[in-house]
Each structure stands twice: as C-alpha cells, then as structure tokens.
C-alpha cells in the first residue's frame, strides 16, 4: 500500500507545482482580470465597480490586451459623468464598450469629435439588450440630466430580451405570454469569486472560453428521442410587444432618440434573416413613435465597396473595428445636427 501512495503523492505534488507555476507565469501576462460586475449604481443595471482598474484580452494568445479603468458610474469611459443637459449618451452592449479597442477608436470619442467636442457619455454593457438600454437611458436622464440619446442596436437585441437568453441584465420578457418578469443576476459563489482572482482560472474561462455547461449541452442530442424542435418564439406580435415596451420606457427628451442599427456585414444565415425582420419591425414602430432610425448597412456597404476591407476587429471577433465606429459616429452626428 505504501508503495502505491508514494508515487501518488509525487504525482499530486507535481500537478500542484505545475498549477502554481502556470498561475505565476500567467500573472506576468495580460490575462483578463476580475471585473466584479454587479448592480453597483442601480438595482437593474450591471456595471463594474466605480474606478476599478482591470485588464481585458482576447483569445488564447491574448490579442488586443487593454488596461482599463471604469469611471465614477462604473462604465468604460475615460471621463467621469457629471450632470450636463448638453451631453449625449450613447448606449448599447459590447459594441459601445468596445474594450478591445483603444479609447479614441470607440464610438463615444468618435461621436464627440464629430460634434466638435460635445460631451458624449458611453454607457455600454456587454451581454445586454433592448430593455437594459432603456434602464440606462432613465439613469442618464434622472441623474445626469441627459436629453439626447443614441442607441447602438445589434441584430440580436430584440430577441435577447427574452428570459433565459443570457443577454439581459434586468427585467426580461416571458416568451410564453409576453409579460415582463423581474430579473437580477445572482451573486457570485465563493468558488466563482476565487476564480475571478486566479490568473489561471481567468485564462481558462475568459481567454479559452471554456464553459462546462455549454460543453454538456453540446454532448446532448439537439432533439430528444421522439421530441420535436421548438418553435421560434419570436412572432411578430411578441416583437411588437418588446419594441413597444422599450419605446414606452424611454425618458421624455428634448430630441427624439437616434437608433443606429447594425447591418449583417456580409453574414448570411436563417438566424440573420429572422433578426433582420425583427429590426425592420422595430424601425417601423420606432419611426411611428418619432425616433430617428439609421440603418448602418448602406453606410457599411458603401465603405466596403470603395475599400474592399473588413469592418470587423478580425476573423476571431465580429465587433466593429475603428473604421466602423467612425462611420457609425458620423451617421449619428449628422442625425443629431439635423433640425
């Protein structure tokens, strides 16, 4: 028995030393660090803790590493937010935060330059959707006196409002009956809190995107034996309900809100086709309510036709690159200047 235990102890010691060595090595590299995202500024709005220093990077090879600092409201913006009725709030998900880009390359600073230095507050929240944007708009109106809003909408923003999508921070829509359900993300467990501060754990889960739950789902058959595929819950009636709730939740402003809708950017799939139909319905409803809707697809297509280059960060990341941010900012600035 002792002969068996001795090699086993050596093996476990070797594994432990290897893990400690990897932890030490990865702490020297720009691995994404703990962001401690939670409801720090409002009960339904996820942000970083105010004035948090953290690092983000993409992929196993740590591309686009950035050292960031959140502002006084917990958003990624190089300025603190102060009450300013002349400011513009640009609101969206990771397309607005754009933490993989240099600060000046993001839509907020680009819009400020296009508006001759007007204060632009970037209120991006990765993994969020339409109703979350309305929550942030109310926060900006009530606590910062902001009266002008630009919303950056990616194609999935309507259907991601549905409960269980994993892409909403606050209240969601029950796909069964269209009712509004309260939601707050559960607090991190002790193990998850520990993992946030481990460079090795962050590398595995943030850089390599290892997700045990997703792995388990991929191993299960898509349709159980004898079952049927689930019908798409996003009917035109449900889309109308979601969009109407969003529009009704927006604060009264001095100017109609501006909605920038991302284009497919050369992507083709049945899912993209369904999302484009949802955005077409959103445009009809929003324009009827007085909003200014800008379809970015023609703007992006014109640039691609003239230059033949991609408008994405890279083949590994479908977010906008700096050129796309500038094109979107210029389109928003033109709408804001219009009488």
As a whole number, the mean pLDDT across the chain is 90
pLDDT at 326: 98
Query: For 284-324, how does the pLDDT look when each residue is reduced to its tens digit (9 = 90+)?
Result: 999 999 999 999 999 999 999 999 889 999 999 999 999 99
Report the alpha-carbon distance of residue 97 to residue 107 in Å, rounded.
Answer: 9
pLDDT at 22: 87
Residue 208 Ramachandran class (φ > 0 left, ψ -120 to 50 alpha, else beta): alpha
- Whole-number Cα distances in Å, 121 to 50, 79, 145, 188, 260: 15, 8, 12, 29, 16
Residue pair 41/74 in contact (Cβ under 8 Å)? The answer is yes
Residue pair 267/300 in contact (Cβ under 8 Å)? The answer is no
Residue pair 249/283 in contact (Cβ under 8 Å)? The answer is no
**What pLDDT band is residue 220 in, cutting at 50, 70 and 90?**
low
The helix (run of H) or strand (run of E) holding residue 122 is strand 120-124
Give the number of other CB atoms < 10 A from CB of residue 195.
17
Q: Domain spans of the chain? A: 77-184+233-337
Which of 14-23, 71-80, 149-158, 257-266 is predicted with the least confidence, judged by mean pLDDT? 14-23
Residue pair 117/129 in contact (Cβ under 8 Å)? The answer is no
pLDDT at 117: 97
pLDDT at 73: 98
Which of 60-69, 181-190, 303-312 is predicted with the least confidence, judged by mean pLDDT? 181-190
pTM greater than 0.95 (yes/no): no
pLDDT at 222: 46
Report the alpha-carbon distance of residue 104 to residue 248 in Å, rounded.
Answer: 33
Cβ neighbourhood burial of 328 (10 Å; 0-12, 13-18, 19+): buried
pLDDT at 266: 83
Burial 31-49 (b: 16+ CB within 10 A, else e): bbbbbbbebbbbebbbbbe
Query: What is the CATH T-level fold of the domain 77-184+233-337, as seen in this structure?
Result: Rossmann fold (3.40.50)
pLDDT at 333: 98
**Terminal alpha carbon distance of the chain:** 86
Looking at per-residue confidence, does 305 or 220 come out higher?
305
Nearest by Cα to 83 from 178, 147, 136: 147
**What pLDDT band is residue 224 in, cutting at 50, 70 and 90?**
very low
Q: What is the mean pLDDT of residues 9-27?
A: 83
Query: For 159-177, how does the pLDDT look when each residue is reduced to its tens digit (9 = 90+)?
Result: 999 999 999 999 999 999 9
């Amino acid at each position: 028995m002792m002969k068996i235990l001795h090699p086993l102890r050596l093996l476990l010691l070797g594994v432990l030393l290897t893990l400690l060595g990897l932890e030490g090595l990865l702490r020297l590299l720009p691995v994404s660090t703990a962001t401690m995202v939670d409801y720090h500024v409002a009960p339904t709005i996820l942000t970083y803790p105010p004035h948090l220093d953290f690092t983000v990077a993409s992929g196993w090879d740590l591309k686009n590493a950035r050292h960031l600092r959140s502002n006084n409201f917990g958003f990624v913006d190089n300025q603190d937010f102060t009450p300013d009725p002349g400011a513009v709030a640009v609101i969206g998900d990771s397309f607005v935060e754009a933490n993989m880009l240099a600060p000046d390359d993001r839509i907020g600073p680009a819009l400020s330059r296009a508006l001759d230095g007007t204060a632009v507050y970037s209120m991006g929240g990765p993994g969020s959707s339409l109703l979350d944007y309305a929550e942030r708009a109310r926060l900006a109106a009530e606590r910062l006196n902001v009266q002008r809003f630009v919303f950056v909408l990616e194609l999935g923003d309507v259907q991601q409002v549905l409960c269980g999508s994993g892409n909403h921070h606050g209240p969601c829509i029950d796909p069964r009956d269209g009712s509004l359900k309260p939601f707050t993300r559960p607090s991190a467990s002790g193990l998850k809190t520990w993992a946030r501060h481990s460079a090795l754990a962050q590398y595995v889960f943030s850089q390599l995107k290892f997700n045990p739950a997703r792995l388990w789902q991929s191993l299960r058959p898509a349709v159980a034996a004898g079952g049927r595929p689930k019908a798409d819950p996003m009917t035109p009636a449900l889309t109308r309900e979601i969009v109407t709730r969003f529009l009704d939740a927006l604060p009264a402003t001095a100017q109609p809100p501006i909605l920038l809708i991302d284009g497919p950017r050369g992507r083709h799939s049945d899912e993209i086709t369904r999302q484009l139909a949802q955005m077409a319905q959103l445009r009809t409803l929003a324009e009827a309510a007085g909003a200014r809707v800008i379809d970015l697809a023609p703007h992006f297509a014109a640039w691609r036709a003239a230059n033949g280059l991609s408008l994405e960060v890279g083949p590994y990341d479908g977010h906008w690159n700096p050129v796309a941010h500038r094109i979107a900012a210029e389109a928003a600035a033109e709408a804001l200047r219009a009488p």
